């Protein structure tokens, strides 16, 4: 499953540089599919195509947030999610609304990085 940052976040910023997929952004800051990945565009299959450089609305304006579609729980990179490993208040936790098995997470990593 993807990791989610709870409202216990103290906005220290320690997690952001640790994410191998650039899935973590500061609250209020726009995110992109292409940031930290090799995605030049994303085709949602319903006629919607988003450029990798398009600025997407922040998911949180108050706390650091994780784009679940870019989170692979660090599968293929590290033994454990690095955000959770560095967070001083342990507020990077598994997201029950985004449950994915290891195979799915590795496929997501390959898609993100054009492997």
| Distance from C-alpha of 95 to C-alpha of 6, rounded to nearest angstrom | 10
Pick out residues in 5-64 that bind ligand SF4 (CB under 6 A). 5, 9-15, 64
**In this structure, what are the phi and psi dihedrals at residue 69, rounded to the nearest 5 degrees?**
-70, -10
Nearer to ligand SF4, 47 or 88 (CB): 88
Task: Classify 114 in phi/psi space as left (phi over 0), alpha (psi -120 to 50) or beta.
Answer: left
Nearer to ligand SF4, 6 or 53 (CB): 6
With CB under 6 A as the contact rule, the residue among 29, 49, 56, 89 that binds ligand SF4 is 89
Give residues in contact with ligand SF4 (CB under 6 A): 5, 9-15, 64, 86-89, 91-92
């Amino acid at each position: 499953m993807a990791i989610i940052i709870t409202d216990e976040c103290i906005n220290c910023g320690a997690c952001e540089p640790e994410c191998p997929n650039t899935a973590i952004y500061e609250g209020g800051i726009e995110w992109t599919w292409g940031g930290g990945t090799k995605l030049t565009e994303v085709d949602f299959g319903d006629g919607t195509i988003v450029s990798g450089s398009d600025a997407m609305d922040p998911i949180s304006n108050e706390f650091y947030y994780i784009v679940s579609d870019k989170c692979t729980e660090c599968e293929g990179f590290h033994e454990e999610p690095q955000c959770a490993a560095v967070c001083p208040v342990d507020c990077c936790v598994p997201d029950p609304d985004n449950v994915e098995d290891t195979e799915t997470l590795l496929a997501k990593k390959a898609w993100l990085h054009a492997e």
